[in-house]
Amino acid sequence: MSLQTYQLMVKQRFSQLLPGGPSRAMAVSGLLLLLFYVFSFNYWSSQDHSDLHLPFAHKWRAWSSGGTNTDPPTNLSHIVFGIVGSLKTWKGRKAYLESWWRPNISRGYLFLDGRPDNESLCPYTCPQILINEDIRKWKIYPLLKYPVSVRVAWSIVEAFRQGDNDVRWYVIADDDTVLFMDNIVQVLSKYDHTKYYYLGASSESILSNVYMSFEMGFGGAGFALSYPLVVAMAKKLDGCIKRYPNMWSDHLIYICILDLGVAISRQKGFHQIDLHDNIAGFLSSHPQSPILSLHHINVVDPIFPSMNRSESISHLMKPAGVDQSRLLQQTICYQREKNWSISVSWGYSVHIYETAVPRYVLQMPIETFRPWIKNAKWPMFMFNTRPAKNDPCETPHWFFFESIESENKDVFVTTYTRAEKRRLSPCSLGRNHSADRINRVQVFSPVKTRLEAGRAECCDVVSLSDNTTTVRIRPCMEAEEIAIV
Ligand SMILES: *[C@@H]1O[C@H](CO)[C@@H](O)[C@H](O)[C@H]1NC(C)=O
Ligand SMILES: *[C@@H]1O[C@H](CO)[C@@H](O)[C@H](O)[C@H]1NC(C)=O
Ligand SMILES: *[C@@H]1O[C@H](CO)[C@@H](O)[C@H](O)[C@H]1NC(C)=O
Ligand SMILES: *[C@@H]1O[C@H](CO)[C@@H](O)[C@H](O)[C@H]1NC(C)=O
Ligand SMILES: *[C@@H]1O[C@H](CO)[C@@H](O)[C@H](O)[C@H]1NC(C)=O
Ligand SMILES: *[C@@H]1O[C@H](CO)[C@@H](O)[C@H](O)[C@H]1NC(C)=O
Ligand SMILES: *[C@@H]1O[C@H](CO)[C@@H](O)[C@H](O)[C@H]1NC(C)=O
């Protein structure tokens, strides 16, 4: 809408409203407000440079967030992690934090509501422990609906008040969240840290988003706030708590950020994991985006068979420590002679199907998990799923990550072994080739090639011995399709 049209609208409203009536006073004051808006708008646009007229404003914002900033690239040293737990939950979660924390390299704090016992301390292997401010002394305290969750939200301000130097981002998560720091650095470095940014993700569960908000960054999944946004939060969060004393922590943070005029920048790699039981199906069809976090690892089944929870997280950290950009990225190839489909979730699992299953099907997670909220009705998830069936043509043979080695300086080889026999007859559609004898899959991948944004990689089945399938991952060729043709 041009300014002229807008002024015309004001004039028309003026003539409609003035004839009087009971609402005249209100109408006039509303009009004054409108006029004030119009004049101040005029003022600002005449002050600005001529190329900043309204139609171009969005373009200008796009330029300025696209990295006109000349600071050196963002690295891990620019991030402060704020991990929030409680004495009640922290026991037994030390191993999760230790699995991803980099002592003396990553910066941050673990916030608790009291001093943990000596066995739960980890002076060198965890972030420094800080005890949260006692909010029971606050005047507002009796009005808070979820005091514990306000303590959690307040940790952002407390992390900020530590006064760390040269901080560009604060990343906040729970003590049962595993973070993938290399990927987080990659993602954050694409944003201008001198602007207000709120990076996060929704829950996988539709109902969680309905109860909270589709527009918020779930706290367990973790979210990132740029430094200037945290400066603003440090000034405004207490007022915001007074305005909204009934809100749950991450919801409260979202609402306060929204009141500062900032909306979420969605990141597909933060995972709230509002799911139950076995999330292997979810992790085997990860969206094409770097994995940033995994939450609720103390709730879901261990992610690798025959390992406990902390062992399986440490196990996932082996490939994560070597090439995080490729972790869980799905690569699909087809073996023509046998008519098999092979889906690799790098560093986690390999599926072999005895038929040609198209990519659009393989990218939907197999529903090995249950919804977060019991008795939830369909649709339950924020993504499409495939039912976990017992059909020889639709049920894959499952292999899980075992080890990673470097073949030479340019190539890594990850090995995946069969978890258990499939116990189904071969798929009799087409070629009827059973994969029962395969008990190992080897995947060769190039060393740390930065993955091309928006495009998957391709692979070829390079050999098929009696019991081992070997696959080589490579960049896709121009206009190459991933399909059996
Ligand atoms: C991170 O960036 C800073 C510049 O802001 C630089 O001084 C430092 O050496 C970098 N650290 C690493 C590990 O690259
Ligand atoms: C971290 O630094 C402390 C003190 O400087 C030192 O004692 C400790 O060995 C270091 N830890 C690692 C893993 O480098
Ligand atoms: C815990 O450690 C501290 C300092 O090392 C010591 O003073 C204290 O007695 C220990 N507490 C228990 C219960 O062992
Ligand atoms: C998980 O397994 C490891 C290695 O077997 C063991 O040290 C650890 O205590 C186990 N953790 C739990 C919670 O059982
Ligand atoms: C390969 O699998 C597809 C999908 O199940 C099937 O339709 C097709 O007939 C099979 N092709 C051959 C040559 O076996
Ligand atoms: C498929 O192979 C199995 C044994 O491998 C055999 O029993 C079955 O008859 C075959 N089916 C077809 C349709 O060829
Ligand atoms: C695969 O077969 C080869 C011989 O063909 C054998 O040496 C090897 O142990 C087998 N591997 C596994 C994992 O069974």
Dist CA 297 CA 175 (whole Å): 10
- CATH number, domain of 464, equals 2.70.130.10
246 in a structural domain: yes
- Residue among 172, 236, 166, 174 at smallest CA distance from 199: 172
Quick one: 85 and 192 in the same domain? yes
What DSSP line would sit under 184-195, residue for residue?
HHHHHTTS-TTS
The answer as to whether 9 is a domain residue is no
344 and 251, same domain (yes or no): no
pLDDT exceeds cutoff 80 at 411:
yes
Nearest to 304 by CA among 272, 331, 342, 278: 278
User: Three-state SS for 425?
Assistant: coil
259 and 328 fall within a common domain: no
Ligand 5 atom closest to the CA of 431, numbered from 1:
14
pLDDT score, position 466: 87
Q: Is the dihedral angle over the CA atoms 53, 56, 61, 64 positive or is it negative?
A: negative
Per-residue pLDDT, 454: 74
Same domain, 341 and 443: yes
Residue 295 has pLDDT above 90, yes or no: yes
Residue ID of nearest Cα to ligand 5 atom 6:
430
Q: Provide the strand spans (E) within 378-450.
A: 386-387, 397-408, 411-418, 440-446
Domain assignment present for residue 280? The answer is: no
Whether residue 340 sits in one domain with residue 463: yes
Number of domains observed in the structure of the chain:
2
CA distance 380 to 299: 18
Q: Does 330 lie in the same domain as 235?
A: no
In this predicted structure, the answer to whether residue 26 has a pLDDT above a threshold of 60 is no
Please tell me the number of the ligand nearest to residue 166's CA. 1
Residue type, 164: D
* Separation in Å, CA 316 to CA 171, 289, 384: 21, 17, 25
The predicted structure's pLDDT at residue 453: 66
- Look at residue 45 and tell me whether its pLDDT is greater than 90: no
Number of CB atoms found within 10 A of residue 34's CB: 16
Residue 25: what pLDDT?
34
∠ CA 306-308-314, rounded to 5°: 105
Is 389 found in the same domain as 247? no
Residue 110 has pLDDT above 70, yes or no: yes
Distance 2 CA to ligand 5 centre (A): 59
Q: What is the rounded CA–CA span in Å between residue 175 and residue 178?
A: 8
Looking at the fold, whether 257 and 332 belong to one and the same domain comes out as no
Share of the chain above pLDDT 70, in %: 85
Q: Are residues 111 and 260 in the same domain?
A: yes
Q: Report d(CA 94, CA 136) in Å as an integer.
A: 27
Q: How far is CA 191 from CA 158, 195, 225, 265, 438, in A?
A: 24, 8, 11, 10, 45
**160 falls within a domain:** yes
DSSP string covering 46-63 = HHS-GGGSHHHHHHHHHH
**110/224 same-domain check:** yes
For residue 311, tell me if it sits in a domain: no
Helix (H) or strand (E) holding 482: none
Contact 171/80 with Cβ under 8 angstroms?
yes
Per the structure, the complete domain to which residue 407 belongs is given by 323-475
Query: Where does a domain end: 222, 241, 266?
Result: 266
pLDDT at 37 over 60: no
Domain co-membership, 128 together with 253: yes
* CATH assignment of the domain containing 192: 3.90.550.50
65 vs 195, 196, 268, 449, CA distance in Å? 7, 10, 20, 26
- Best residue among 393, 429, 432 to mutate for probing ligand 6, ranked by most atoms within 8 Å of CB: 432
Mutate to test the pocket of ligand 5, among 352, 431, 433 (most ligand atoms within 8 A of CB): 431
Using the predicted structure, report yes or no on whether residue 40 has a pLDDT greater than 80.
no
Q: Is the CB of 77 under 6 A from ligand 1?
A: yes
- Mean pLDDT across the stretch 417-421? 94
Position with higher pLDDT, 387 vs 432: 387
Spatial CB neighbours of 364, under 8 Å, sequence gap ≥ 6: 285, 383, 384, 385, 386
> Which of the listed residues 233, 266, 299 is the one where a domain comes to its end?
266
Ligand 2 atom at minimal distance to the Cα of residue 104? 1
Alpha helices in 76-127 (DSSP H): 87-90, 94-100
Residue 243 lies in a domain: yes
Does residue 297 sit within a domain?
A: no
Closest ligand to Cα 103: 2
Q: What is the enclosing helix (H) or strand (E) of 38?
A: helix 24-47
The model's confidence at residue 75, banded by pLDDT at 50, 70 and 90, is very high
Residue 356 lies in a domain: yes
136 and 211 share a domain? yes
The protein residue with its alpha carbon nearest to ligand 5, atom 3, reads 356
Q: How far is CA 18 from the centre of its chain?
A: 53
The CB of 73 under 6 Å from ligand 1? The reply is no
Mean pLDDT, the chain, whole residue set: 86
Of 72, 316, 292, nearest to 184 (Cα)?
292
